[in-house]
Amino acid sequence: MEIDDPLPGALKRVVGVLKGGDRFLLMTHEDPDVDGLGSMLALGKSLTDLGKEVVLLIQKPLNPPLLLLTGAERMLAVSKPGGASETKKEFDVVLALDCAERDRLGVCGGAWSGGGVTINLDHHETNTFFGQHNLVDANSSSTGELLYRLIRAGDFPLDFEIAENLFAAIQSDTGSFRFTNTTSRTMRIAADLLEYGVKPWEISRRILDGYGPVRLKLLALALARVEYYNEGRIGMMVLSKEMFDESGAHASDSEGFVDYPRYVEGVELAVMISAKDENTYKFSIRSNSRVNVAELASRFGGGGHIKAAGFTCNGSLGTLKKDFLFEAGRLLNETPR
C-alpha cells in the first residue's frame, strides 16, 4: 500500500543503517507496554528474516498478557541469567523504540553507548532526540505506526507475525482506535495489516483483555478509593503496594485503569498513581479537555503526549499527591475551557 510520508529523508537514512548492519540490539522503555514490545518484536522478526543477528532486551521477565504477544519468548531479560552480559557486547546498531528519553531505558540503557550506531525511533512529543539517528514523529498514533512506515520505506520483510505485532501496537496506543491520535493514515495502515490475516478481535481478547482474576480484584480495590479534586475536574486513583500484595496483581495488570476516573462526567484530568517501590511512584495522566498533560508531566521530569503522559518520582505519597494537585490545578486554571 502506498502512503505519502512526510519523513522521506529520515526514513531513508535509517533504512540505510538497518540494511548495512549485521548485529542489532533492540530495547524499549522501562515498564514496557504493547506499543513498545510489539514494535520490538515486529522489527526484530523483520531483521531476522533478512539474516541479521538480533537481541531483544528487556528489564525483567514479562507477565500476561504482555507475555502472550507473538514471539515474546524470544525476549531476553537483563535480570535473568545471561541478560546482563548482553549489555556489554558490541553491536553494529542499537535501537530504542517507543522511548522519549535515554533515562527511560532503565537498566537496558547501559548498552546504549556501547559503540554501535544508535537509532531512536519514537512518536512522543517530548522526545529528546538522544540517538545518532532520530526517527521521531509525534503525528504518528504509535511507534507501531511509524515502524510500519519504516518497513514499507525499506521494503523489509512483512509477514503475519510482524503484521500482528504492529497491529497490536497500533490498536493498544489508539485505545482500539477510540483516541484522538487515530487518523485516516492510522486506519489505512491497520486495514493493510489485516490483509496479512490479522484478526483484531483475537488480539483484543488475547493481548488487550487477556487478564486473570487478580486484575479484577485490584480494580475493585482501586475503584473503591477513587478521589476527586478541584470541584470534580481531577479524578485520582491510587494503587498502593498493599493493594498489589492483597490482590496478587502485577503492575501490568493495571493497564488502562487510569481511564476509569477519566470516564466520569466532569473529569477533565485523570491520574493513576501506582506504587513501584517503598517510596517510588509512577503517575499516569490522561486529559479529557484542552489540558496538555505532557506539559504537566514535564514539571516533574516526565513527558508524553498532549492527551496522555506520565512520570516517576520518589518521595512520600502524601507530599507527591499535594505537589501534583497543586501543579495540576494551576494548569487547569491556566487552560481555557
Q: Residue 312 pairs with which residues in a beta bridge?
A: 282
**Residue pLDDT, tens place only, 83-119:** 777 777 889 999 999 999 999 999 898 888 777 999 9
Q: What residue spans in the chain does CATH classification 3.10.310.30 cover?
A: 213-334
Backbone angles phi, psi at 229, to 5 degrees: -135, 170
Query: Could you tell me the pLDDT band of residue 199, with boundaries at 50, 70 and 90?
Result: very high
User: For 249-268, how does the pLDDT look when each residue is reduced to its tens digit (9 = 90+)?
Assistant: 999 999 999 999 999 999 99
Cite the residue boundaries of each domain of the chain with CATH code 3.90.1640.10.
8-208
Nearest to 311 by CA among 336, 334, 293: 293
pLDDT in tens, 219-243: 999 999 999 999 999 999 999 999 9
Distance, in Å, from the CA atom of 251 to the CA atom of 45, rounded to the nearest integer, reads: 27
Q: Decide: 70 and 165 in contact? Cβ < 8 Å.
A: yes
Query: What single-letter amino acid sits at 203?
Result: I
DSSP 117: E
**Sheet strands side by side (includes 269-277):** 227-229, 234-239, 269-277, 280-287, 308-314, 303-304
CA-CA distance, 44 to 171, in Å (whole number)? 19
| pLDDT reported for residue 296 | 97
Q: How would you classify residue 75: left for phi > 0, otherwise alpha for psi between -120 and 50, otherwise beta?
A: beta
In CATH, which of 3.30.2000.20, 3.10.310.30, 3.40.50.150, 3.40.630.10 is domain 213-334? 3.10.310.30
Q: Which fold has domain 8-208?
A: inorganic pyrophosphatase (n-terminal core) (3.90.1640)
Instruction: Check residue 99 and give its pLDDT.
Output: 98
pLDDT of 110: 85
On the 0-12 / 13-18 / 19+ scale of CB atoms within 10 A, 278 is exposed
Q: Which three cell numbers stand for residue 123?
A: 512518536
How far is the C-alpha of 253 from the C-alpha of 153, rounded, in Å? 36
Q: Using 50, 70 and 90 to split pLDDT, how confident is the model at 6?
A: low
Choice between 78 and 273, residue whose per-residue pLDDT is larger? 273
Cβ 285 vs Cβ 253: under 8 Å: no
- Identify whether the C-beta of residue 38 lies closer than 8 Å to the C-beta of residue 172: yes
pLDDT for the residue 114: 74
Distance of CA 99 to the CA centre of its chain: 7
CA diameter of the chain: 59
What distance in Å separates the CA atoms of residue 307 and residue 70, rounded to the nearest whole number?
A: 29
Total Cβ atoms within 10 A of residue 272: 25
Residue type, 68: L
